[in-house]
Structure formats: structure tokens, C-alpha cells
């Protein structure tokens, strides 16, 4: 099962997007990551009484079965006086922001024809993507780099000298040998014997379950998440998966670029086998490494062919399919799967939720009919690929991984420095521990109060929009207003962070540490089955520059990291705060009423509470948005590339709604939230309304490598940054009024689309 936030069915809990830079350790799984973008807990389940758990883990690392020392106690946020440079001298930060806004603009561009270039052109013209990045953003990346520097200082300072798990994990990663022969010997002893003994579909399912325990992708994905019909309990989800390229399109598209990627993929598989197995491949799966690579690509292409496009999985009504275990196709051997995981089927009411019923029917046939040597090769590659992606076998093997996934798939010229990758891994693996330290230094109670105050005004603005929407019936208006009142807001940091009690970290064994973290995530997920949903749980750490709305809990979550400069400051002009953090809050709130979120009620349950007439009018408006965005194509790519309006529909509705909600809140309720300036006093040439829209647009200033942009068009439910500006603002009459745009210009079209 996958790591991080990779949900299993529809009902997605959308992220704001533009996350901090993603290390390529996860890019081979990017299709799953985006497909499942419902903020779920870690997607894995764990600890059956199997040979692998007993032999693969206990024999090699017996200490993992003992608890570690007690965790350090959690901490409340600091007083404002103890914060770091994020709240530096307010006069300095305000002056720096004004200069940053002005310098990022290109006033030679007509804002009514290309507002993205007007707001971001100066920054775009003078900014190059660093060679160790595949994209770079003005706001998200720059803030993430500041937070990264703070985390690095913590890890190399007090968290290391204090002997914490986070500090020890970080340094075990830094000190990992370039060529980890000991880890390879361990794999030779424990893993390869298991592969050699595969003989039928039942033994394949047995090993698949063991892979999922270790968070290695194979054939399909499994996850534990809130049940969509009853969000007070957890269900087990099975989702299509098993691919190693970013999406099904990478296997099926016949363009020259994708054919080249597949050719490079074959070379990568062969190279990885040759460097790890050598001649052992013949003994393991009775074929050369070159033949094995071809068989793996063929098998994954078959999986791609039976997979649905990501856009087709967005509707929770069609991708939430509870199926009795007795009806799961026979060659899936679900009883064996549960036995290995140690799951009693009665705990999940003898039911599994499938996202794509036909996929699992055909997968069962594939698992029974595919030659066993092909399956051995496929599973061996997936295990090795998972380990090298996380640098668990050392830098030499990671180089091979990066050369394919980083350079060729994503267009990144150079690896990130080791410290950054080790920090990223530590942040991912022990994120709540880092979060406690981060909050102590960088978040104040006054900042939380200010954010709560702004959020109340955003919600009041949305209430007015609901009240004044003419196509909503009184019945639906009343139900929508009740759902709005029930939204649960989480700001800053979780009350009960994960303490990682059962994670054992040793200073000189990064491979063992990595497996311990994977097993912890799996165990934690499995333990949720049969229990009530923890409504206090956060599925994002406080140091994450992002936000999310979870429809299954009807909750919005705003981590401490995004409540920082440049998104928000108590001394910024109100126009800047509402254009930045206000639009983020409006975006997340709008997700509760987008094409997915609207299908969940105020308690987070999936059921129909819209009348058919009102639903039809919503769908007409949503399809207008879909057609609009499908007409957009990135200027950096050739004309055949365009935004997928169906895949990005929910995010686009949230972007359109977020701007409107934030602007209206700014106009009606901005008093008391920020120092009051006239816009022209802050940035010469901009009045208050114009400053709001420029501040919004500059959140999305970003450059991509062409390869990454192509990948995101296939896999990301968010539109590329340019269209997160053009889409919402070109459809909003108040923008055209603010800049005096003539009717018929790009940002003042004759006909517009809007949902809210």
C-alpha cells in the first residue's frame, strides 16, 4: 500500500495544490497519489503472522518488536515574541512584500489580455528553475524553502544533540553508504527466496499482501479510510494500481515523447536488475534482465488498459462500490490476503470497497493467467524500485532511479542535495515529531486567533453567496446553509500528534529505519479498522505549506506553515491578506460545494440532498467550467496539450469560488484583520481592489520543466498555475471592473461560467 496521502476511492479530500517540491522518490507512484487525493490516513495495513513479517523483519531486526523510549511531550505554540524569521520585524516584512509584489509584475502587459503575465511577468522573466527542481514557485516554494531551512536547523541542532528519533533518522540517511551491500545481502537472503517459491495465484496474493505491508506497490492499492456512507467508521478500500510510470497514459499514448519514455523505462529496469541481481535474474525468473524488462512493461501495459482514467474515478457515486468478500473474484484469494494482514473480515463487515469493479475482475484473470516468471520479475522490480526510490540501498542505486524518473520523466537536471532528500524523508516519516518542534518556534496563539477571525469572515461571505444564488431552491439553500454551519475548522497544529512509539530508529541503519517507519504506518492504519473515526486526527503536518478540505468529515485544515508570510501577516494590508490566505480559505470552503463535495452532507455522509432540478442546474454550470478549462493549453507546450477540464473540475470550481468568496469578504468584512492602507500607498499604481487581485495571482507564479508540465496535465487534479489565475479572474466581473477591461477582452468575455 502506498505511503502518504493516497486515498482509495472517490469522495476525495482535495488539497490546495502547489505543494512543496516533490522528491522523485514518489514520482513512479504519482498516478496513484493524485487519483487518491482524498486525504486519508496512511494507506496501509499491517502485521499478519506471515513468514515475511516473522522472517524478513524479526530475524533481521528483532529490536523492532520492542517499544522505543517514551516520546517527548507535545507542546503548545509559542508566544509571538519567540517566533523566528517568519514573523521578523513587521516593518521589514511589509516593506519586503511591497517590493516583492512590484518587482514580480510586468506593467508593460495589458492586464485585461494576460493578467498572469501582468502579475507574474517580472518574476517569470528573471527566474530560472534551479537545476535540482522540476518546478519553482514564487510563494509556495519560497516559503517551503524557509521552512525547510528551519527544519534542517532543528534536525542538525537540538533534535540531533537531544538524541531524538527525528535527528537520528536524518543522520542515518545522511550517513547511508553510497553502495549498501549489506542491504543487498539481506534482500538476497530473505526476499529472493520468497520470490523463487512463487508458484500460483494464491502464493502471488500472499506476497502481494506482504508487499502492501511494506508499502510496496503491486497490482492494486489498499487503504483504510472513512466509509463514505457512514463516516463514523472506517472501511477497507481496494483501488486500481500496480503501475510504475506516472499514469496509464504513459503506457497507452503513442506520441514520440511517450514512446521514448517507455524505451528509457526498459533500459532503467534492465540496469537496475543488472546492478542488483546480475546473473541471479536467470535463476529467479528464468529470463535475462532485458527479457524481464520487456515482460514487466507488457504486464503493466495490460494493467493500464484495464484501469480507468483518473477523471472517471472522481464521482464518488460511481467509484464507491462496497462488495461482499464472498463476491471478490476467486483468483484474488482475498481470504489469503486478509490472513497475511491479520485482518478479521468481520471487523469490516465482510465487505471491501472497490473503486473500479471491472478492474478487479480482470486483475483476477491476469493473476491466474500471467506466467509465473513474469510475475516474479514484476514483483522483484517493484520491490527494488521502492527501495531505491527512498535511497534505502544507497546513493549509487538512487542515481539510476533519478536518471530515469528525475531527468527523463520530470526534466530535472540535477539531484537535490542529499541533505534535502534526507530532510524530506524525515519529514515524511516522522512528520508529527518535526511538527511539534516547528510549532514551538514558528507559530503563535495570536496568529491562530487572526486566522480564525479571517476564516469566520470567509464563511460569512460564503453564506451570503448561498443566500443570494438564484438557482438554488429554498430547500437546498437551507440544507447548504446547515452544512456550512457544521464545517469543522482545524487551524495550526493537531492536538494529538503521532508519537511514533513503536518506531525504532538506530543511528547507523537507514534501511532498517525506513522499514520500521513503513511498518508503523501500516500498523497504525490497520488498527483503525473496527474503531470509530478519530475526528481530531490531522492528515497533514503543521509544517506543510498547503491546506485541505475533507468531505467525509466536512472539515477544513490549515496547517501553521501556510499561515505565514507571504500568505498572511497581521500587519499586511487587508487586500494582500484576503488575496493570499483569504483566497486559500475560500478555495477550501468551496470544495464543500464543488461537484464532489456537494454530494456529502454536513455530517460527511454521501447521500443525495439536492433536488433533481437544482442538481441539473448545478451540472449545467459545472459543464460550462469544464469546457472553459479544456480550451486552455499551456504556452510552454505544443498545441496538442491542453487542460483536462473533467479531471480538474473540482479544483477549478474551488478556484472560481475561492476568489469570489475572498473578494466579497475583503469588501464586506476586512476591518480588524490587518493594517489599513490604500493600495497605492503600498504598491504604487495599484488601488485596493487591484492589489487584491495581484496578490491572488502572485500566489500562483510558477515555472515548470516541460516534462513535468506534461505529466501534471495527465495526473494532477489542479490546473497549471497560469490557469488558476486566468480561469477564475476571466470569469469574475469584479476583476474586469477593477482594471477597466473592455467587454470582449480575454479577461472580460461576453459569456462567463460560474457555479458560486
Domain ranges of the chain: 43-68+176-429, 80-127+444-492+554-739
Interatomic CA distance for residues 37 and 7, integer angstroms: 6
* Catalytic (active site) residue 588: yes
Is there a contact between 204 and 367 (Cβ–Cβ < 8 Å)?
A: yes
Per residue in 373-396, pLDDT (tens digit) is 999 999 999 999 999 999 999 999
Give the mean pLDDT of 298-311. Answer: 98
pLDDT at 38 over 90: no
Torsion on CA atoms 586, 590, 591, 593, rounded to nearest 10? 160
pLDDT at 1 over 50: no
Helix (H) or strand (E) holding 340: helix 334-341
Which has the minimum average pLDDT: 130-139, 184-193, 335-344, 443-452? 184-193
pLDDT of res. 195? 84
Instruction: Tell me which of 21, 148, 300, 588 is the catalytic residue.
Output: 588
Interatomic CA distance for residues 481 and 347, integer angstroms: 36
Backbone angles phi, psi at 751, to 5 degrees: -120, 140
Higher-confidence residue: 744 or 2? 744
pLDDT of res. 59? 28
Which has the minimum average pLDDT: 21-25, 397-401, 411-415, 669-673? 21-25
pLDDT at 322 over 50: yes
pLDDT of res. 281? 73
Per residue in 57-116, pLDDT (tens digit) is 322 332 322 223 333 333 444 443 344 444 456 677 778 889 999 999 999 999 999 999
Cell of 640: 496538442
For CA atoms 386, 392, 396, 398, the dihedral sign is positive
pLDDT of res. 60? 31
Instruction: Tell me which of 18, 355, 509, 655 is the catalytic residue.
Output: 655
Which has the minimum average pLDDT: 175-189, 215-229, 601-615? 175-189
Per residue in 202-250, pLDDT (tens digit) is 999 999 999 999 999 999 999 999 999 999 999 999 999 999 999 999 9
* Catalytic (active site) residue 707: no
Distances (CA, A) of 413 to 49, 154, 311: 45, 29, 31
This prediction's pTM:
0.89
* CATH hierarchy code of domain 80-127+444-492+554-739: 3.40.390.10
Interatomic CA distance for residues 384 and 404, integer angstroms: 14
Is there a contact between 38 and 224 (Cβ–Cβ < 8 Å)?
A: no
pLDDT at 341 over 50: yes
pLDDT of res. 191? 75
Which has the minimum average pLDDT: 27-41, 152-166, 351-365? 27-41
For CA atoms 623, 638, 34, 147, the dihedral sign is negative
pLDDT of res. 9? 36
Per residue in 677-733, pLDDT (tens digit) is 555 678 999 999 999 999 999 999 999 999 999 999 999 999 999 999 999 999 999
pLDDT of res. 188? 66
Interatomic CA distance for residues 664 and 600, integer angstroms: 25
Domain 43-68+176-429 listed as CATH 1.10.1380.10: yes
3-state secondary structure 123-146: HHHHCCCCCCCCEEECCHHHHHHH
pLDDT at 18 over 80: no
Give the mean pLDDT of 107-127. Answer: 98
Give the mean pLDDT of 457-470. Answer: 97
For CA atoms 140, 145, 146, 151, the dihedral sign is positive
Residues 6+ apart with CB under 8 A from 264: 404, 408
pLDDT of res. 278? 79
pLDDT of res. 14? 67
Is there a contact between 393 and 183 (Cβ–Cβ < 8 Å)?
A: yes
pLDDT of res. 180? 66
Give the mean pLDDT of 548-560. Answer: 98
Count how many residues are written for the chain. Answer: 756
Pairing of β 234-240 and β 351-354: parallel
Amino acid at each position: 500500500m502506498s505511503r502518504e496521502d493516497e486515498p482509495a476511492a472517490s469522495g476525495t479530500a482535495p488539497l490546495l495544490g502547489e505543494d512543496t517540491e516533490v522528491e522523485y522518490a514518489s514520482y513512479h507512484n504519482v498516478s496513484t497519489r493524485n487519483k487518491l487525493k482524498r486525504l486519508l490516513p496512511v494507506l496501509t495495513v499491517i502485521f499478519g503472522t506471515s513468514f515475511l513479517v516473522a522472517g524478513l523483519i524479526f530475524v533481521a531486526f528483532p529490536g523492532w518488536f520492542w517499544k522505543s523510549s517514551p516520546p517527548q511531550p507535545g507542546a503548545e505554540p509559542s508566544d509571538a515574541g519567540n517566533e523566528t524569521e517568519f514573523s521578523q520585524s513587521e516593518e521589514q516584512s511589509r516593506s519586503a512584500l511591497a517590493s516583492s509584489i512590484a518587482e514580480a509584475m510586468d506593467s508593460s502587459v495589458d492586464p485585461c489580455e494576460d493578467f498572469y503575465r501582468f502579475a507574474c511577468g517580472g518574476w517569470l522573466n528573471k527566474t530560472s528553475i534551479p537545476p535540482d527542481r522540476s518546478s519553482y514557485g514564487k510563494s509556495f516554494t519560497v516559503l517551503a524553502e524557509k521552512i525547510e531551512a528551519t527544519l534542517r536547523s532543528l534536525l542538525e541542532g537540538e533534535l540531533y544533540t537531544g538524541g531524538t528519533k527525528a535527528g537520528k533518522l536524518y543522520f542515518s540517511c545522511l550517513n547511508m553508504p553510497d553502495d549498501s551491500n549489506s542491504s543487498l545481502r539481506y534482500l538476497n537472503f530473505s526476499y529472493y527466496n520468497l520470490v523463487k517459491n512463487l508458484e500460483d495465484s494464491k502464493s502471488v496474493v500472499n506476497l502481494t499482501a506482504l508487499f502492501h505491508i511494506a508499502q510496496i506497490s503491486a497490482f492494486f492499492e489498499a487503504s483504510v479510510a472513512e466509509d463514505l456512507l457512514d463516516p463514523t467508521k472506517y472501511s477497507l478500500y481496494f483501488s486500481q494500481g500496480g503501475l510504475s510510470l506516472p499514469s496509464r497514459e504513459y503506457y497507452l499514448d503513442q506520441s514520440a515523447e511517450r514512446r521514448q519514455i517507455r524505451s528509457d523505462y526498459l533500459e532503467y529496469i534492465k540496469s537496475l536488475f543488472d546492478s542488483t541481481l546480475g546473473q541471479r535474474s536467470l535463476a529467479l525468473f528464468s529470463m535475462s534482465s532485458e527479457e524481464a524488462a520487456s515482460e514487466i512493461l507488457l504486464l503493466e501495459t495490460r494493467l493500464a488498459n484495464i484501469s480507468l482514467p483518473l477523471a472517471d474515478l472522481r464521482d464518488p457515486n460511481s467509484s464507491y462500490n462496497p462488495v461482499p468478500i464472498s463476491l471478490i473474484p476467486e483468483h484474488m484469494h482475498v481470504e489469503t490476503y486478509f490472513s497475511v494482514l491479520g485482518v478479521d473480515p468481520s471487523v469490516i463487515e465482510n465487505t471491501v470497497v472497490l473503486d473500479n469493479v471491472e478492474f478487479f475482475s480482470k486483475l483476477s484473470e491476469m493473476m491466474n493467467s500471467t506466467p509465473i516468471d513474469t510475475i516474479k520479475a514484476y514483483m522483484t522490480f517493484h520491490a527494488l524500485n521502492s527501495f531505491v526510490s527512498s535511497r534505502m540501498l544507497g546513493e549509487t542505486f538512487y542515481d539510476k532511479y533519478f536518471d530515469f524518473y528525475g531527468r527523463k520523466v520530470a526534466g530535472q537536471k540535477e539531484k537535490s542535495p542529499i541533505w534535502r532528500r534526507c530532510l524530506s524523508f524525515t519529514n515524511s516519516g516522522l512528520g508529527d515529531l518535526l511538527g511539534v518542534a516547528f510549532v514551538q518556534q514558528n507559530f503563535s496563539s495570536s496568529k491562530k486567533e487572526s486566522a480564525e477571525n479571517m476564516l469566520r469572515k470567509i464563511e460569512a461571505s460564503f453564506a451570503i453567496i448561498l443566500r443570494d444564488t438564484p438557482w438554488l431552491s429554498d430547500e437546498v439553500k437551507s440544507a447548504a446553509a446547515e452544512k456550512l454551519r457544521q464545517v469543522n475548522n482545524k487551524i495550526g497544529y493537531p492536538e494529538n500528534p503521532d508519537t511514533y512509539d513503536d518506531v525504532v530508529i538506530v543511528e547507523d541503519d537507514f534501511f532498517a529505519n525506513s522499514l520500521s517507519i513503513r511498518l508503523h504506518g501500516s500498523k497504525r492504519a490497520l488498527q483503525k479498522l473496527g474503531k470509530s473515526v478519530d475526528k481530531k486526527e490531522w492528515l497533514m503536518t503543521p509544517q506543510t505549506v498547503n491546506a485541505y478540505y475533507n468531505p467525509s468529515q466536512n472539515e477544513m485544515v490549515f496547517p501553521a506553515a501556510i499561515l505565514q508570510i507571504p500568505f498572511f501577516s497581521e500587519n499586511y494590508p487587508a487586500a494582500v491578506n484576503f488575496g493570499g490566505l483569504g483566497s486559500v480559505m475560500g478555495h477550501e470552503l468551496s470544495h464543500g460545494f464543488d461537484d464532489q463535495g456537494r454530494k456529502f452532507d454536513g455530517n460527511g455522509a454521501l447521500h443525495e440532498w439536492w433536488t433533481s432540478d437544482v442538481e441539473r442546474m448545478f451540472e449545467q454550470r459545472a459543464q460550462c467550467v469544464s469546457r472553459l478549462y479544456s480550451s486552455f493549453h499551456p504556452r510552454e507546450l505544443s498545441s496538442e496539450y491542453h487542460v483536462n477540464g473533467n479531471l480538474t473540475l473540482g479544483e477549478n470550481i474551488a478556484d472560481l469560488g475561492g476568489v469570489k468568496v475572498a473578494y466579497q469578504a475583503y469588501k464586506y468584512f476586512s476591518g480588524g484583520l490587518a493594517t489599513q492602507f490604500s493600495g497605492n500607498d503600498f504598491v504604487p499604481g495599484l488601488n485596493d481592489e487591484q492589489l487584491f487581485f495581484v496578490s491572488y495571482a502572485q500566489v500562483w507564479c510558477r515555472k515548470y520543466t516541460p516534462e513535468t508540465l506534461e505529466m501534471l496535465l495527465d495526473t494532477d487534479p489542479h490546473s497549471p498555475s497560469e490557469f488558476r489565475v486566468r480561469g477564475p479572474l476571466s470569469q469574475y466581473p469584479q476583476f474586469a471592473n477593477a482594471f477597466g477591461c473592455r467587454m470582449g477582452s480575454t479577461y472580460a468575455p461576453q459569456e462567463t461560467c460560474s457555479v458560486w
